[in-house]
A and B are shown apart, each in its own frame.
Chain A
Amino acid sequence: MAESKAESGDNRAHGLALLTMMERIRAFEEHAILAAERDQLVLGAIHPSIGQEACAAGIMQAVRRDDILLSTHRGHGHTLAKGADPLEMFRELLGREGGCCGGKGGSMHIADFNVGMLGANGVVGANITIGAGAAHGLKLLKTDRIAVDIFGDGAVNRGPFLEGLNWAVVFKLPVLFVCEDNQWSATTATRTVTGGDGPGARAAAMGLPVTEVDGNDVEAVARAADEMVARIRAGKGPEFLHARTYRQTGHTSFDPASYRPEGEAERHKAEDDPIARQRAVLLAMGLSSADLDTVHDAAQAEMAALLKQAAATPFPPDNMAFSDVQDIGSPQKEAF
């Protein structure tokens, strides 16, 4: 009896932690969009993952800080959930000194090597071979660390999907591939430009064990990721997670997404939002609306304060335009 009570307490705590991370990701991105549209502080494009937070929160809770993550242009959530500092992330989005990439990468190249986050990527699918290779390196170094490689449904139509997945199978590498399927390839519905039975079928054809999951059910994503990560860490080879979710925003924050069928986004927001669904789960576990509102409000307050702090940070020194290019033939010595 006492045990099951403790267990249900653990479940509640775990569920609340998942909700907290999703609320923080959403608050981060809502404030990033404000910074872009209201404040004109984010100068380049940002690609929000609003509506997809369950993938980031559910998968990243399954890995360790020293595991490796490769992400996409839509990677704020993954990065935050991997443990990156949101102040450094805001500074990066604003192109400021003290950003996690010193202000040189911006949203699309966000990375925090301190937490194993080896980069978002501006090229769809490019991170697939790199993630396989990171796992290859980890294996050569004889560690028990693993790599997680997240990409979207658009990436399954690029060559690196085939080359990278095959590579991981051939060398039996410790990598979890995640297709975070938000159903849209930029502004084109992915199903209209994709042959066959989708990402999972393609991965299975190359010999990867495939798990299909409701990517808006954070508890289901977390359970699937826990099981897969345990097998991968035990040396059983790469696996493939196909998480079906939905991109509630346009391709970028400036894209009104008028190409979408009328009512599609509204229906997803109303019926299939991962945060709303997890709130319902926690309410059913006995938590109160007030408890959950506290989580929401704390996340919003945290990100509002951090954005303000980031906006008060100066731009990087001018000479950083020439730093960290290369040692031999560095533009700091000769740029012409």
Chain B
Amino acid sequence: MAEKMTYVEASREALREAMQADETVWCVGEDLGRGSVFGQYLGLQDEFGADRVVDAPISEAAIMGAAFGAAMVGTRPVVEMRFSDFALCATDELVNQIAKARFMFGGQSRAPMVIRKPTGMWRSSAAQHSQSLESWYTHIPGLVVVCPATPQDNYSLMKAAIAADDPVVYFEHKNIWQMEGEVDRALEVEIGKAAIRCEGSDVTIVSWSDTANLAAQAGEELAGEGIGAEVIDLRSLWPWDKEAVAASVKKTGRLIVAHESVQVGGFGGEVAATIAEAVPGARIRRLGAPRSLIAYAPNLEDQMRVTPNMIKQAAREIAQ
């Protein structure tokens, strides 16, 4: 049975249910007792106590490293990094320690952790609070990378991430915390399976995170122009649903991959190259941010955005 939830409520409900079901699940980060920056933890400290909803010092490396140590002795931490930009202070802990422990120690350890990284542009947050760095983590064997775009996916994928025995880097987009949608608590989503947001036979548009919502909007508007766009929300970048994308592009012969992060070195390049090999002859376009920085002033900030209009224009061009 579906109920209305916002994006921020959805992952909070998923976390709450996981904490109710398993007392080894706990969460740690700055200001969690007051709900954290965006209210992701509102009420959880009252319900579960300060030992399981832990207010940490501003010590990103210790938050990440300590959660990892606690994971290795048998707990299941959910780690809050506040802004994905700040998680860079804990890069050694994530990349050199967490991602590698199971392999380096010959399978003796697991790191069942969810590392939450609020990501993306959120009006006038400037260069250190706006980045989309998800592609970096796809480059690190050992990590799972998840980028939900809707309340339902933020609920179902958070549950899947907490249940996973792998470290899951979990990007929630800051611009859609208040996005409302129907959430069915019984609906399970497997990490690695894409969602077809709208069907079409003329062009395939692949995206993830909030850009998938923009792509879905573009897809609906393109339908009004007589262009059938199949919009695929990858939902996770490692693993990613190559089969769904390849099957769609075999049908449409055209691929647009659109994302908020910088186009150069972005995951769109990986999608484009993989599909170019899998579907010879496919026409392919990438849409990502210019390789510049995200500014404070709105007119400058906007120049770094991939918009529905840009996606539609690319679709019109490629569909010709």
- Please report A residues at the B interface, Cβ cutoff 8 Å: 68, 70, 99-105, 109, 111-113, 118-119, 121-123, 126, 128-138, 140-141, 147, 159-160, 163-164, 166-167, 170-171, 323-329, 331, 334
Which single member of A70, A105, A147, A166 contacts B105 (CB below 8 Å)?
A105
Tell me which residues across on chain A come within 8 A of B141, comparing CB atoms: 325-326, 331
Please determine whether B104 and A327 come into contact, CB atoms closer than 8 angstroms. Answer: no
Please determine whether B59 and A126 come into contact, CB atoms closer than 8 angstroms. Answer: no
The CB with the most chain A CB atoms within 10 A, among B54, B75, B191, is that of B75
- Some 15 contacts from A to B, beta carbons below 8 A apart, are A102-B106, A102-B107, A105-B105, A129-B62, A130-B69, A133-B71, A140-B52, A141-B73, A159-B61, A160-B62, A323-B103, A323-B107, A325-B102, A328-B239, A329-B238
Please determine whether A109 and B105 come into contact, CB atoms closer than 8 angstroms. Answer: yes
Tell me which residues across on chain A come within 8 A of B65, comparing CB atoms: 126, 128-130, 132-133, 160, 163-164
Please determine whether B68 and A130 come into contact, CB atoms closer than 8 angstroms. Answer: yes
Tell me which residues across on chain B come within 8 A of A118, comparing CB atoms: 69, 72-73, 109
A170 to B10, CA, bound (A): 32
Chain B, 47-77, contact with A by CB distance < 8 Å: what is the 0/1 string?
A: 0000110101101011011111111111100
Please determine whether A163 and B62 come into contact, CB atoms closer than 8 angstroms. Answer: yes
CB nearest neighbor in B for A112: B108
Tell me which residues across on chain B come within 8 A of A171, comparing CB atoms: 54
Please tell me if B96 contacts chain A, counting CB pairs below 8 Å. yes
Q: How far apart are A293's CB and chain B's nearest CB, in angstroms?
A: 37
Please determine whether A324 and B106 come into contact, CB atoms closer than 8 angstroms. Answer: yes
Which single member of A113, A126, A135 contacts B109 (CB below 8 Å)?
A113
Please tell me if B93 contacts chain A, counting CB pairs below 8 Å. yes
Tell me which residues across on chain B come within 8 A of A140, comparing CB atoms: 24, 26, 51-52, 70, 75
Please determine whether A100 and B106 come into contact, CB atoms closer than 8 angstroms. Answer: yes
Which single member of B59, B68, B239 contacts A167 (CB below 8 Å)?
B59
Please determine whether B70 and A134 come into contact, CB atoms closer than 8 angstroms. Answer: yes
A133 to B93, CA, bound (A): 12
Chain B, 140-152, contact with A by CB distance < 8 Å: what is the 0/1 string?
A: 0111100000000
Closest 7 CB pairs of A and B: A133-B69, A129-B65, A133-B66, A137-B70, A102-B106, A329-B239, A101-B106
The CB with the most chain B CB atoms within 10 A, among A135, A141, A163, A334, is that of A163
Tell me which residues across on chain A come within 8 A of B101, comparing CB atoms: 119
Which single member of B74, B93, B144 contacts A328 (CB below 8 Å)?
B144
Count of chain B residues near A, Cβ 8 A = 49
Which single member of A112, A324, A334 contacts B239 (CB below 8 Å)?
A334
Please determine whether A131 and B106 come into contact, CB atoms closer than 8 angstroms. Answer: no
Q: How far apart are B285's CB and chain A's nearest CB, in angstroms?
A: 23
Interface residues of B in 107-151 (CB under 8 A from A): 107-109, 141-144
Please determine whether B108 and A132 come into contact, CB atoms closer than 8 angstroms. Answer: no
Tell me which residues across on chain A come within 8 A of B165, comparing CB atoms: 327
Please determine whether A105 and B66 come into contact, CB atoms closer than 8 angstroms. Answer: no
Please determine whether A327 and B164 come into contact, CB atoms closer than 8 angstroms. Answer: yes
CB nearest neighbor in B for A171: B54
Please tell me if B199 contacts chain A, counting CB pairs below 8 Å. no
A103 to B74, CA, bound (A): 24
Q: Would A166 and B62 be within 8 Å (CB), given that A104-B104, A134-B73 are in contact?
A: yes
CB nearest neighbor in B for A175: B69
A314 to B106, CA, bound (A): 16
A136 to B56, CA, bound (A): 12
A158 to B166, CA, bound (A): 28
The CB with the most chain A CB atoms within 10 A, among B26, B108, B164, B165, is that of B108
Please tell me if B92 contacts chain A, counting CB pairs below 8 Å. yes
Which single member of A100, A126, A325 contacts B96 (CB below 8 Å)?
A126
Tell me which residues across on chain A come within 8 A of B68, comparing CB atoms: 129-130, 133
Please tell me if B201 contacts chain A, counting CB pairs below 8 Å. no
A122 to B108, CA, bound (A): 17
Please determine whether A137 and B57 come into contact, CB atoms closer than 8 angstroms. Answer: no
Chain B, 150-178, contact with A by CB distance < 8 Å: what is the 0/1 string?
A: 00000000000000111110000000000
Q: How far apart are A120's CB and chain B's nearest CB, in angstroms?
A: 10
CB nearest neighbor in B for A143: B73
Tell me which residues across on chain B come within 8 A of A323, comparing CB atoms: 103, 107
Q: How far apart are B91's CB and chain A's nearest CB, in angstroms?
A: 11
Chain B, 166-198, contact with A by CB distance < 8 Å: what is the 0/1 string?
A: 111000000000000000000000011000000
Please determine whether A137 and B72 come into contact, CB atoms closer than 8 angstroms. Answer: yes
Tell me which residues across on chain A come within 8 A of B242, comparing CB atoms: 334
Which single member of A109, A111, A112, A130 contacts B66 (CB below 8 Å)?
A130
Please tell me if B45 contacts chain A, counting CB pairs below 8 Å. no
Q: Would A164 and B66 be within 8 Å (CB), given that A123-B97, A327-B166, A328-B166 are in contact?
A: yes
